[in-house]
Chains A and B, each alone.
Chain A
Amino acid sequence: EPEVTQTPSHQVTQMGQEVILRCVPISNHLYFYWYRQILGQKVEFLVSFYNNEISEKSEIFDDQFSVERPDGSNFTLKIRSTKLEDSAMYFCASRSLASGANVLTFGAGSRLTVL
């Protein structure tokens, strides 16, 4: 079964450092998403991306965050200058054109720890 693949599975970084989280969505999917889950809290939406531009973003997704699809397969989330409160599990998701707008395939997540 096709999977959404995320790397790294766990990253530890110092406050103020830049971090890039990588995702390989399912190959025929056209819509891409990032969510995050702070420890002990609920999964929350960050951003959606379609046709090489952001479709929607939440209030969390401020200027410190950016997303990119640098080639035909990768979808990245960059945090420019990490803060302690960015420590969380980050989930990438994708969906096809045919599936419902709220039916997503998620990756296993990348755990980010900011010290």
Chain B
Amino acid sequence: AQSVTQLDSHVSVSEGTPVLLRCNYSSSYSPSLFWYVQHPNKGLQLLLKYTSAATLVKGINGFEAEFKKSETSFHLTKPSAHMSDAAEYFCVVSPPSGSARQLTFGSGTQLTVLP
């Protein structure tokens, strides 16, 4: 069994300040983990994925996430927010090499970036 919890439904940051979006997971195996982003009127875009290689994963647009097994976390960070980062972010967990059916989505975190 697996589950994923995004700890904040809304996060608001000022432009130029760091972003932290929190994700905790529960899994009976070593999971694959993903972050997706959805901008208004756009599809869910894959930001980055962890699949048991390096624990610090770098994604697109300056985002990165660190897999911490001891904390069962996969938080998404960015050193400096940009206005274009405003979007909804989804943390997703899957068994390693799992099927699409086995993707478990978090509830999403809406990121607002203030000027």
Contacts and interface: CB of A to CB of B under 8 A. Distances in A.
Interface of A: 3-4, 6, 9, 31, 33, 41-45, 48, 56, 58, 91, 93, 95, 100-109
Contacts of B44: 91, 93, 106
Interface in B83-103: 90, 94, 97-103
Contact of B97 (A31, A33, A93, A100): A100
Contact of B46 (A41, A44, A48, A103): A103
Interface class of chain B by DSSP: mixed
Interface of B: 32, 34, 36, 41-46, 49, 51, 90, 94, 97-107
A4 B44 CA distance: 10
A95 B94 CA distance: 16
B99 A108 contact: no
B107 to A, nearest CB: 6
Given A42-B107, A102-B94, A56 B101 contact: yes
A43 B100 contact: no
Contact of B106 (A42, A58, A102): A42
